[in-house]
Amino acid sequence: MELSNNGTDQSFTAQNAVASIILSLACLLGVPGNALVIWIILFTMQRQRSPTVVLILNLAIADVLVLITLPLWIYSFVHGWALGEGFCKILSYLIHCNMYVSVFLITVMSAERFMAVVYPFATQRWRRNKVVVKVVLAVWGFAFLFSVPVLMFQVLDVDMDGRQQCLSMVFNTDQQEILCTVLQVVVAFVIPFSVMITCYICIGRKVKSMTFNTPNRTGAVIGSVVIVFFICWVPHHIINVISLVALMTENQTMSDTLNDVYDIGVLVTGALAFINSCVNPVLYAFAARNIRSGFRLSALAKLFDQLTHSLKEESRKESMDTTKKDLSVTMEEMCSLQDI
């Protein structure tokens, strides 16, 4: 029994360590990237915010709101949750909301790109900022709605070392757990991934049929979007499906084995899902031509202009100082000549 418990403790400790490393990388890379995207859009693109840029702005906001909470979770893995059950519920709810928003916005952006490429003229009247604002509000509304179960069932749990952790949802019945898990898998992965892959397959076919020679770069961006979303999210939802199978199976041995697999993988796969929020600025924001140009022209160019201006000012001041010194020397020499 002691060996079994020690093995479980070691597995849990390794699981926490891996999850903490993944979350640390996501926070260190994702927060500056998303913050930079928000700054560029808000302060350098006031007059050229297309519908796509509005979607990217909301995506960056949702991602950065998720990523700035990661230090709390990393601290919790190491020292335990110390903020109480109420804050556990609220913070978990906000994280689920923003994760839903991130997934929904990626799906909307895929559909928007599909309409813009496949039906560019028929959809011009729909690709307006007023329509996009309504879509964004609907996305946030649905995200808040689908995250309500977290407020109802999120509780504090105790880990192997006796520390409280804000990681579990405890349901009143098996039917509630099955319903909530199936809803999350379908709404947060199956439907969005199906929409994305369908849209990008159609976009890829359309691009290949065009005469201009830019299909390779477009295909690379499209492929990276689908692949990264799949890699980041499918392990998390596979673990959820494993928990469903363990709950529904009548074989107790299989159920216990599947529950062990779930316990081992839930933290790591959950942490991996945060990587999608970290990679989003690279895939969506910096792949957008107007944001890239906005970054180059508005940020770097302004910095270069300021440096150039300061150098010119310093050079002018130095020349003026030199001239003044020469004049003072000349005046002194004239005065000395008069004295002679």
Question: Phi, psi (5° rounding) for residue 50?
Answer: -75, 170
- In this predicted structure, the answer to whether residue 305 has a pLDDT above a threshold of 60 is no
Query: What are the Cα distances from residue 54, in Å, to 38, 112, 140, 181, 292?
Result: 10, 12, 14, 31, 15
- CA 23 centroid distance within chain: 12
| pLDDT, tens only, 209-263 | 765 555 445 556 666 777 888 888 888 889 988 888 888 887 888 888 888 888 7
Of the chain, the percentage scoring pLDDT greater than 70 comes to 71
Kindly compute the dihedral angle of the four CA atoms of residues 174, 14, 69, 181, in this order, to the nearest 10 degrees. -20
What mean pLDDT do residues 278-295 have? 65
The mean predicted confidence, pLDDT, of the chain is: 76
Quick one: pLDDT at residue 337? 34
CA gap 29, 296 in Å, rounded: 20
Neighbours of 33 (CB within 10 A): 22
Indicate the helix (H) or strand (E) that contains 136: helix 129-146
The tens digit of pLDDT for each residue in 95-140 reads 899 889 988 988 888 888 888 788 877 666 666 767 888 899 999 9
List the single range of 72-86, 183-197, 291-305 with lowest mean pLDDT: 291-305
| pLDDT beyond 60 at 11 | no
Q: What per-residue confidence (pLDDT) applies to 320?
A: 56
For residue 329, the model assigns a pLDDT of 42
107 residue type, one letter: T
Task: Give 39-60 as a 3 state SS string.
Answer: HHHHHHCCCCCCHHHHHHHHHH
Q: Return the pLDDT at 335.
A: 45
pLDDT bin (cut points 50, 70, 90) of residue 147 is very high
Alpha-helix residue ranges (DSSP H) falling in the chain? 2-44, 51-67, 70-79, 84-118, 129-146, 148-153, 174-185, 191-209, 215-248, 252-280, 289-294, 301-339
Distance between CA atoms of 193 and 20, rounded to whole angstroms? 27
Dist CA 86 CA 156 (whole Å): 10
pLDDT at 93: 92
Query: What type of residue sits at position 267?
Result: L
The predicted pLDDT at position 287 comes to: 62
State residue 217's pLDDT score.
56
Residue 283's nearest CA partner among 225, 217, 219 is 225
The answer to whether residue 46 scores a pLDDT higher than 50 is yes
Region 53-78: what's the mean pLDDT? 87
Share of the chain above pLDDT 90, in %: 11
3-state SS class at 48 = coil
Interval 136-162 mean pLDDT: 88
Angle between helices 215-248 and 174-185 (to 10 degrees): 170
For the segment 192-214, the average pLDDT, to the nearest whole number, is: 79
Tokens of 282: 């690279």
| pLDDT recorded at residue 218 | 53
